[in-house]
Copies of this chain bind each other. A is one copy, B any other.
Amino acid sequence: MSKPNPAPPVVDHVSDATLRGFVGYHMKRAFNVVQADLANTLKPFDLRMITYSALVLIVDNPGLRQSQLADAMDIERPNLVVIIDELERRELILREKVPTDRRAYALVPTLAGRQLCARAIEAVTSHEARLLQGVGMTEYAQVLDVLRRIEAKGTKE
């Protein structure tokens, strides 16, 4: 007769071969690295990934409304409030009243905001260059293309 409770074998090395069959798994692992690295890069500026994105978008699109920014960042309006609060408290941006619509605020960067943004962008740029060292231009372009195509699959239908 067979043993009722055969002892499971001792696992010396954990295999993730099955998960490696999925792009999503690779994307998550690679993105975790990028995210951790980005957090370190932004730490000297006292910015998080999310506040950095918001600041860049406000600098690039001065005068946009909070709802427009929330749309662009793909988050809900309530979650943007604290982010804007923080950027405003640090005087990197301003909430300006819109004369034609008294419900809305136009978000504009201050000089300090634009300057911090420029320095942060520079740091992030050299940071990404380090993560991508050894990746050729054509290779890079192809990866961006595939990522964009995957992204597009989400918005349609």
Contact = CB atoms under 8 A, between A and B. Distances in A.
B22 A124 contact: yes
Chain A interface main SS type: helix
Contacts of A153: 33, 37, 130-131
Nearest to A72: B14
For chain A, the bracket of interface size reads 35 or more
A16 B134 contact: no
Interface in A48-76: 53, 56-57, 59-65, 68-69, 71-72, 74
Given A23-B143, A71-B14, A134-B149, A33 B63 contact: no
A31 B27 contact: yes
Contact of A30 (B27, B60, B99, B106): B27
